[in-house]
C-alpha cells in the first residue's frame, strides 16, 4: 500500500504511543522492506513515513529491519483494505447470518515436510475436547488429514451482573497484538492497558476466579470460511452453558467501523468460535515435530 492511500496521520499519532509501550527488548528486527511489502502491503514510502514518525527499526545489511508485530499492528489499525481486516470481515459476515444455529466443518491440511522417507508419515493432530487424533499417510502431498465439526448456537444466555461488571473493567484496554513473549502476560496487559485476545482472556479468567466466578481460558479456531484463524478467548459458565466473550476485540471491530452498534462488547462471539482445548497447542505435528498446516473451513446448512 502507498502512504498516500492509507496513512491517516492523526490515527498514526494515536497508534504509535500504544506500540511504543512494548519494551524494546521484546522486538525481533527480522523483516526487511521487501517482506513488509509482501506481507503487509507497506511499501518503501510508507515505511519512511513510519520511521520518521517514530516506529522502531534497526539497521540491517541491506537496509532497515522491522518487527513483524509492529507492522501487523500498523497494517490492521490503519489500512481498511489490509489482509488482517479482510480476515476479520469474514467474522462479521458469519456473525450476521440469520440462522438459529450453524454447523461448520474444519479440515486439517498439511504436507509432508520431509518427502521421500521410507516409513508412512505419522501425524498427531490436536482436536476438540483437548484430545488428540493420530493418523498415518503415504507420500502426503497436502491432502486432508482429518476433519472435525462444530455445532454452534446463535444465541447465548445473558451474562449475570457480576460478569458484566468484570467486562466493564476492561474498557480501558486497547487492542494491540503483542509479541509472543508478552501475549499471555496478564499483568502487562493490566498495567499498560494494551493487549490482544490471549492476554485479555488470561486477565479475565484470573480475575473471575479471584471473585468466585466460574471461568475458563479457551484456545481454538475462528469458524470463518474459507479458512479459520487461531484464536483465544475467555468463557464464563452461565446456567450450565460456557459463554465465550472477547470484549476488547469487539471494541476494536467497532472502532474500525466493521461491527455495527448491535455488537456491544458484552455480546458473545461464540457462534463462530470452535474450542480445541484449555491452552495453546501445536495443532499438527509430523513425526513429533510441529509443521505448517492450513485449516479450510466450510459452513453446512443451518437451521
- Domains of the chain, first to last: 3-81 (no CATH), 99-303 (3.10.620)
Q: What is the mean pLDDT of the chain?
A: 94
Q: What is the pLDDT of residue 140?
A: 65
Cβ atoms of 55 and 31 within 8 Å: the answer is no
pLDDT of residue 5: 67
Please report, in angstroms and rounded to a whole number, the separation of the first and last CA atoms in the chain: 41
Residue appearing with cell numbers 479450510: 296
Element at 251 (helix H, strand E): helix 247-255
Q: What is the pLDDT of residue 302?
A: 46
C-alpha dihedral sign at 39, 41, 43, 47: negative
- Confidence band of 3 (pLDDT split at 50, 70, 90): low
What mean pLDDT do residues 277-301 have? 94
pLDDT value for 110: 95
Written as nine digits, the cell of 47 is 515505511
Higher pLDDT, 302 or 124: 124
Predicted pLDDT of residue 301: 61
pLDDT of residue 117: 87
- Short-list 12, 18, 80, 21, CA closest to 47: 12
Residues 131-159: tens digit of each pLDDT: 999 999 876 677 899 999 999 999 999 99
Round to whole Å and give the CA distance between 231 and 237.
19
CB 72 within 8 A of CB 32: no
CA distance 19 to 192: 11
User: How far is Cα 83 from Cα 81, in angstroms, rounded to an integer?
Assistant: 7
pLDDT for the residue 118: 84
**Secondary structure class of 248 (helix, strand, coil):** helix
51 within 8 A of 57, measured Cβ to Cβ: yes
Give pLDDT, residue 289: 96
| pTM (global) more than 0.85 | yes
Would strands 273-277 and 215-222 be described as parallel, antiparallel, or unpaired?
Answer: antiparallel
- CA proximity to 86, closest of 271, 269, 227, 221: 227
Higher pLDDT, 64 or 114: 64
Amino acid at each position: 500500500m502507498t502512504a498516500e492511500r492509507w496513512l491517516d496521520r492523526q490515527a498514526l499519532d494515536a497508534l504509535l504511543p500504544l506500540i511504543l509501550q512494548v519494551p524494546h527488548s521484546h522486538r525481533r528486527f527480522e523483516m526487511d522492506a521487501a517482506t513488509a511489502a509482501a506481507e503487509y502491503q507497506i511499501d518503501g514510502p510508507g515505511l519512511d513515513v513510519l520511521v520518521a514518525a517514530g516506529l522502531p527499526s534497526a539497521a540491517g545489511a541491506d537496509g532497515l529491519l522491522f518487527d513483524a508485530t509492529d507492522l501487523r499492528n500498523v497494517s490492521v489499525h490503519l489500512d481498511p483494505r489490509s489482509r488482517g481486516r479482510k480476515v476479520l470481515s469474514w467474522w462479521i459476515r458469519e456473525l450476521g447470518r440469520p440462522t438459529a444455529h450453524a454447523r461448520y466443518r474444519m479440515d486439517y491440511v498439511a504436507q509432508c515436510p520431509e518427502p521421500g522417507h521410507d516409513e508412512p508419515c505419522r501425524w498427531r493432530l490436536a482436536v476438540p475436547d483437548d484430545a488428540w487424533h493420530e493418523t498415518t499417510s503415504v507420500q502426503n502431498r497436502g491432502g486432508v488429514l482429518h476433519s472435525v465439526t462444530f455445532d454452534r448456537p446463535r444465541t447465548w444466555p445473558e451474562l449475570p451482573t457480576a460478569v458484566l461488571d468484570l467486562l466493564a473493567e476492561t474498557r480501558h484496554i486497547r487492542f494491540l497484538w503483542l509479541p509472543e513473549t508478552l501475549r499471555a502476560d496478564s499483568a502487562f496487559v493490566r498495567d499498560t492497558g494494551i493487549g490482544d485476545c490471549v492476554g485479555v482472556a488470561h486477565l479475565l479468567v484470573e480475575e473471575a476466579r479471584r471473585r468466585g466466578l466460574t471461568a475458563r481460558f479457551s484456545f481454538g479456531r475462528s469458524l470463518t470460511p474459507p479458512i479459520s484463524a487461531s484464536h483465544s478467548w475467555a468463557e464464563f459458565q452461565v446456567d450450565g452453558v460456557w459463554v465465550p466473550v472477547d470484549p476488547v476485540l469487539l471494541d476494536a471491530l467497532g472502532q474500525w467501523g466493521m461491527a455495527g452498534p448491535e455488537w456491544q462488547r458484552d455480546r458473545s462471539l461464540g457462534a463462530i468460535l470452535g474450542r480445541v482445548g484449555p491452552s495453546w497447542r501445536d495443532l499438527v505435528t509430523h513425526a513429533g515435530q510441529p509443521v505448517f498446516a492450513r485449516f479450510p473451513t466450510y459452513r453446512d446448512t443451518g437451521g
